[in-house]
Structure 1
Amino acid sequence: MRNLTSWLPSQHRQRQLTYLMEIGLIGMLFVGIERGNGGIVINTGVALIVTQLPPLLERDYEIPMDPRLTLWITTAVFLHAFGTVGLPGATRTLYSQIWWWDHMTHALSASLVAGVGYATVRALHEHTDGIHFPQRFVAVFILLFVLAFGVLWEILEFAIALSAEALGIRAVLTQYGLEDTMLDFVFNSIGGLIVALWGGAYLTDITGAIRTRLESRTE
């Protein structure tokens, strides 16, 4: 674990990076308002809400969220929102300018989904004596969980695109074709695989907190 985290900045620097990205999201929200772009406003607004989940979970549910996890979550939503805004002065978004941007954000988002699945499964495994999840099963479950979520996401994108076309408005989320969808699934799997391999090193505290809450409910 030490080898994997030795390249990370200090916890103080991680918090600073998180705050800077949150400020950046606020700035992008105002950019969307100034442009009258509903897609930017909605994407950055949702991203800002997501960035408030870690302190909410820690304060109200006593689920520990160390700076690494908070930075991980904030980075994922920041890069997605930034991709919808684009660079200053550019007429195209990063999603349309950079071919790998969509795949990168899919992998990051999938890793968050996988993290939720991993922590929940491990908590159930440790909480209930009658439930035993072998490590291989956990890895397969995470991949299937991520793929299932990815399918739901693609259906949502497709439905939003059709609705926007029918209403004559700009879609909040964009689909780029079947090939892009298949690549999204590939990168979703990569994000899930990373969590399956290294999730135990970073999600132990969250797993323990979920297990504790489950135990308190059964007492």
Structure 2
Amino acid sequence: MSVVREYVGVSERTVTRAFQVAIVSVLLAGVATRHVGVVVNAAVALAITFLPAVLERDFSLPLDPGVTLWITVALSLHAVGMLGIYTRVWWWDHLTHTLSATVVAAVGYATARVLDEYSDAVHFTRPFLFVYILLFTVALGVFWEVLEFLAREVGTLTGHDPVLYQYGVEDTVVDLVFDTVGAIVVALFGSRPVSSLVETFSHRIEHLRDESESD
């Protein structure tokens, strides 16, 4: 069984590298065309994909390869979308918002689970967790929409292509709907994939607690 898990981990890492190469290709395309929005989004996306490796190296927080792949796919699809696919493929924005929302919801869920497990002051029931995940994800979605609006305004004022695009109130509402869909998917079915993330953070907190008690 351990051999199978190791093989699956290697396969997932290989696919993750392939998506990172795709982001690098988008970055190079942005540089070649001097498109600031493409360059910035691809550069930020690429940097975030290496965050799990940094957490493992510097903070002893290894993440499951599947979680890393999950994050990388969401970021790569967004970066590719900046090449013009967002405007040419009507469902691409819905796909990226839903997938990105699942990542955000997973982070919120993992944080709540860790707090619930290691704090005697709180206890989160399943109905509460469901509502919490929805509110957490939608709140971050609203924040993202505000960033898109500000990026559009800055682009208009400076005469440059905006780093992010926002197409009006209707687009914002639709984006938030698909953010909610992503949150519901995690709230209903996402506990198993996120369990490794919860376990990782739990072990780290336990380790820090043991160190503080020994001091």
After TM superposition, the score normalised by the length of structure 2 is 0.90
Is the contact between residue 64 and residue 205 of structure 1 (CA under 8 Å) also seen in structure 2?
no
- What corresponds to 2:4 in structure 1? none
Structure 2 matches for 1:171-210, cutoff 5 A?
171-210=162-201
| Aligned equivalent of 1:155 | 146
Question: What is the deviation of 1:21?
Answer: 1.1
Say which of 71, 90, 97 aligns to 1:99: 90
**Superposed displacement of residue 176, structure 1:** 1.6
Q: How far apart in 1 are the matches of 2:99 and 2:27?
A: 21
Equivalent AA in structure 2 for residue 21 of structure 1: F
Alignment match, 1:4: none
Q: Please tell me whether the aligned partners of residues 125 and 131 of structure 1 are also in contact (alpha carbons under 8 angstroms).
A: yes
Task: Provide the C-alpha distance between the structure 2 equivalents of 1:190 and 1:62, rounded to a whole number of angstroms.
Answer: 33
Distance 1:111 1:51 in 2: 16
Deviates more, 1:163-172 or 1:209-218: 209-218
155-164 vs 205-214, greater mean Cα deviation? 205-214
Q: Distance in 2 between matches of 1:187 and 1:122?
A: 24
1:150 positional shift? 0.7
Other-structure match for 2:48: 50
Residue 124 (1) aligns with residue 107 (2): no
Pair 1:138-2:129 in alignment: yes
Task: Tell me the SS of whatever aligns to 2:167.
Answer: coil
**In proportion to residue count, which structure has more helix?**
2
Kept in 2, the 8 Å contact 1:124–1:211? The answer is no
Counterpart among 69, 74, 78 of residue 71 in structure 1: 69
User: Is the contact between residue 63 and residue 206 of structure 1 (CA under 8 Å) also seen in structure 2?
Assistant: no
Q: How many residues align?
A: 204
Tell me which amino acid in the other structure corresponds to 2:101.
Answer: A
Structure 1 unaligned runs (5+)? 1-8, 86-92
Q: CA RMSD in A?
A: 1.6
TM-score (norm 1): 0.88
Cα drift, residue 179 of structure 1: 1.3
For 1:22 and 1:157, how far apart are their aligned partners in 2? 24
Identical amino acids, percent of aligned pairs: 44
